[in-house]
Amino acid sequence: MNITFSSRELRDLVVAWIALGLAFAIFFAGGGQRAISMLLGGSFGLALVVSLLTAGVGFLLHEVAHKVVAVRYGQIAEFRADYSMLGIAIMSALVGFIFAAPGAVYHRGMLTEREHGLIALAGPATNLLLLVAFAPLFVAGLVLGSGILELIGARGLVINAFLAAFNMLPFASLDGRTVKAWSTPVFAGVLALSILLTVGLLLFVGF
């Protein structure tokens, strides 16, 4: 299996990663005015780095997982950013909430319903697997008394659980709709697990 990325695809991934990191950093700051205050105070850069490493990495690996599985099934697959939606993500964060639909992996070729379902499932499943990576960071932050590690770990856990739950909703072009069309038990199981993890992590590690 040969995974390659075109120059346009790499550009779209990087732009979407940075735009989402910026949007989440503004959102975590509490909106535009507080983000500006943090920028003037010199602390916004840290907030941006944390968002790039949590929400940004979660998004990147989610999309790359879709591509890898699609290519595994013989598809021609590439990520395309939706620049208008990236703008909306940043604008929504400025007013205190966030709506992010940064783009999607588009593929072409003949597929079975099961293959369609597994390609869709790959993204949310990757977000759930990322919990295994962020949990040790959170624990290390607690043990070492490192607020930065604890923050990255906590946000990485909650954001990736939320991304899995959100993308498993069976609406519009979200992954859950395609997974449900293939297997209702798999859809229900992954959605329920993602929701439970999101709620549990919010209660346990905060946000």
The answer to whether residue 160 is domain-embedded is yes
Q: Quick count: other Cβ atoms within 10 Å of Cβ 196?
A: 12
Assign residue 109 a region (left: φ > 0; alpha: ψ between -120 and 50; beta: otherwise).
left
pTM, 2 dp: 0.92
CA–CA dist 42, 167 (Å, integer): 34
The answer to whether residue 170 is domain-embedded is yes
Residue 205 confidence (pLDDT) = 84
Burial class (CB in 10 A: 0-12, 13-18, 19+), 104: middle
The answer to whether residue 121 is domain-embedded is no
Q: List pLDDT tens digits, range 123-167.
A: 999 999 999 999 999 999 999 999 999 999 999 999 999 999 999
Burial class (CB in 10 A: 0-12, 13-18, 19+), 55: buried
104 and 136, same domain (yes or no): no
162 and 91, same domain (yes or no): no
The answer to whether residue 120 is domain-embedded is no
In the chain, at which residue ranges do the beta strands (DSSP E only) sit? 76-81, 103-108
Q: List the catalytic residues.
A: 63
| pLDDT of 35 over the 80 cut | no
Burial class (CB in 10 A: 0-12, 13-18, 19+), 188: middle
Total count of domains within the chain: 2
Q: DSSP of 80-119, one letter per residue?
A: EE-HHHHHHHHHHHHTT------EEEEEES---HHHHHHH
1 and 81, same domain (yes or no): yes
Is the CB of residue 195 less than 8 Å from the CB of residue 188?
no
The answer to whether residue 155 is domain-embedded is yes
Residue 59 confidence (pLDDT) = 95
9 and 77, same domain (yes or no): yes
Structure tokens at 4: 């390659």
**Residue listed under structure tokens 């783009």:** 103
**Residue listed under structure tokens 């208008």:** 84
The answer to whether residue 17 is domain-embedded is yes
137 and 74, same domain (yes or no): no
Count CA within 13 A, CB hemisphere, residue 72: 11
Q: List pLDDT tens digits, range 52-106.
A: 999 999 999 999 999 999 999 999 999 999 999 999 999 988 888 888 888 999 9
Domain that holds residue 158: 132-207
> How far from chain centre, in Å, is Cα 193?
17
> How far from chain centre, in Å, is Cα 36?
25
